[in-house]
Structure 1
Amino acid sequence: MEIDKADLIEGMARGLAVLESFDTERQRLNATLAAQRAGITRAAARRHLLTLAHLGYLETDGSHYWLSAKVLRFSGSYFASARLPRALQPTLNRLASLTPDSFSAAVLDGDEVVIVARSGPSRVTAYGVHLGARLPAHATSTGRVLLASLARAELNAWLKGRDLARLTLRTTVEPKAFRALLEQVRRQDWCFASEEHELGVHALAVPLRDMRGRTVAALNVVAGSHRADKAALAREMLPVLLDAARELRPLL
């Protein structure tokens, strides 16, 4: 959403940028590192860190800072109030009762997809797939379905100047090959991703559309090495996912 510059509270934007600087690569930051990651001065980063610690969103040893459990208030409020997760969860629970596989629904957020609903085993992947988990869009079945659903101009803007990270030896990172892959996903309206995000993990995804035909999320099934065969996984699980997508459409 674009707003007028006069309506932008820059201090709030910088504070949120500092919070977003913390991730799995950098769980603890000092003022210098936070400034580099948030793109602000060290003095500004120091004030934001001190304020966030004062408000309880960060903990500190006096030199370094790390996220506190209070930040979970935001995700908790989202899952408690947002319509999309509540609409999806009963269907995912039903799917998980039918097979030993794990089912997830995700939305696109910049470079990543965010898991907004899930059901099934929590240890299908090495890292687990939990609510709120953020995964690289280019290397996941849900991410590719969501990218393929973008308008051409939006997709071109997303791809422009982007270096795709190689997460495994099987990750597609060459721009021309990745574009061709997304075109295939667009044509067939589903995506199979095998060991491109994590070795031993295979996933099949379909788009979730509302009654106006807009893709609002992606639904996938994540399986381990017992479902490594693309044809077998598609034959067994694609009809299940497509039926679920049709069932959910009036609710989205």
Structure 2
Amino acid sequence: MRTSERPTGEDRGPHFVQSVARALSVMRSFSADRPSQSLADVARATGLDRATARRLLLTLADLGYVRAEARDFQLTPRVLELGYAYLSGLSLPEIALPHLRKLAGDLNETAALAVLDGDEIVYVALIPSSRVATVRINIGTRFEAYPTSMGRVLLAGLPEQQLEDYLARLRLESKTDRTVRSVDALRQEIDRTREQGWALVEAELEAGLRGAAAPVRDRAGAVIAAANVSVHAGRMTPQEVEREYVPAILRTVRMIEADMMGLA
């Protein structure tokens, strides 16, 4: 969901503080693709008028979360404080890390764990490969769900009505010439993911990048996260990824689930 499409105060109760929502929308408008933005960029991304966007940016600068350089603004490392309490109290990444480390070591590829937050995936654990990657990924990195293997797995795990709501509001963008082009085609891929229990996405987020993922489920069987391996297309064919990597990912998620349930 784009920042400007998030619910406004009119959709909330009388407790809702619009200024807080607007300040958060300003912070969310920055991303890996837009680490530095002008006032006009922020106003356009958030749907706010320039005067409001300027006041919010200057307030965030006074609080130390934003810095101004010439005519542009950037987030500061202090924003990490906002997510630290959540991540530090989240046991799943700690449980998953040893298994992701083994997976990454066995395959010599990047292994990761992500959760679904709104319409985006958020990386909560990551073991990077020593090989050079063109996509910059860190803990907290967010991508739209639909063109990623972990996103497909997480979308496949949604209750049917939540999935239908997601598809109804989705606005597809072509990240590459292989990105899924229609909601119907995406629905078919999500159905396929649900049936086979894993996803393989071929260069839909970035050209030359393949991703394979499988769901991590809680004791009740609900999908709570996804684990994946990313590989450059030049090193492995889709058939090789399916034959050699997918079984390793499935074993990894089973071990994560066993540790979560205290069965290992």
TM-score, with length taken from structure 1: 0.89
Matched, 1:243 2:254: no
Distance in 2 between the 1:122 and 1:74 partners? 29
Matched, 1:41 2:52: no
Distance in 2 between the 1:208 and 1:4 partners? 32
Q: 2:140 aligns with which of 132, 143, 160?
A: 132
Identity percentage of aligned residues: 34
Distance in 2 between the 1:81 and 1:123 partners? 31
Q: CA deviation at 1:130?
A: 2.1
Matched, 1:231 2:236: no
2:167 equivalent in structure 1: 159
SS at match of 1:173: coil
1:112 equivalent in structure 2: 120
TM-score, with length taken from structure 2: 0.85
Greater displacement, 36-45 / 111-120: 36-45
Matched, 1:89 2:97: yes
Which consecutive segments of 4 or more residues in structure 1 shift more than 6 A? Answer: none
Q: CA deviation at 1:38?
A: 2.2
Q: 1:162 to 1:56 in 2, by over 3 A?
A: same
Q: 1:41 to 1:81 in 2, by over 3 A?
A: same
Q: 1:122 to 1:52 in 2, by over 3 A?
A: farther
**8 Å Cα contact 1:100-1:120 kept in structure 2:** no
User: Deviations 1:228-248 (Å, cap 9, x if unpaired)?
Assistant: 322222221222222222211
Please tell me the residue identity of whatever aligns with 1:37: A
Distance in 2 between the 1:24 and 1:238 partners? 28
Q: 1:26 to 1:225 in 2, by over 3 A?
A: closer
Q: 1:220 aligns with which of 228, 233, 248?
A: 228
SS at match of 1:197: coil
Q: How many residues align?
A: 251
Distance in 1 between the 2:136 and 2:38 partners? 29
Q: CA deviation at 1:226?
A: 4.8
Q: CA deviation at 1:61?
A: 4.2
Q: 1:31 to 1:214 in 2, by over 3 A?
A: same
Q: 2:183 aligns with which of 155, 175, 182?
A: 175
**8 Å Cα contact 1:163-1:173 kept in structure 2:** no
User: Deviations 1:125-158 (Å, cap 9, x if unpaired)?
Assistant: 3123322221231111111111111122111111
Distance in 2 between the 1:96 and 1:29 partners? 35
Q: CA deviation at 1:120?
A: 3.4
Structure 1's unaligned 5+ residue stretches are none
SS at match of 1:138: coil
1:99 equivalent in structure 2: 107
Q: CA deviation at 1:37?
A: 2.5
Matched, 1:10 2:18: yes
Q: 1:206 to 1:66 in 2, by over 3 A?
A: same
Q: 1:210 aligns with which of 190, 203, 218?
A: 218
Q: 1:46 to 1:226 in 2, by over 3 A?
A: closer
**8 Å Cα contact 2:109-2:131 kept in structure 1:** no
Q: CA deviation at 1:195?
A: 1.4
SS at match of 1:97: helix
Greater displacement, 156-165 / 56-65: 56-65
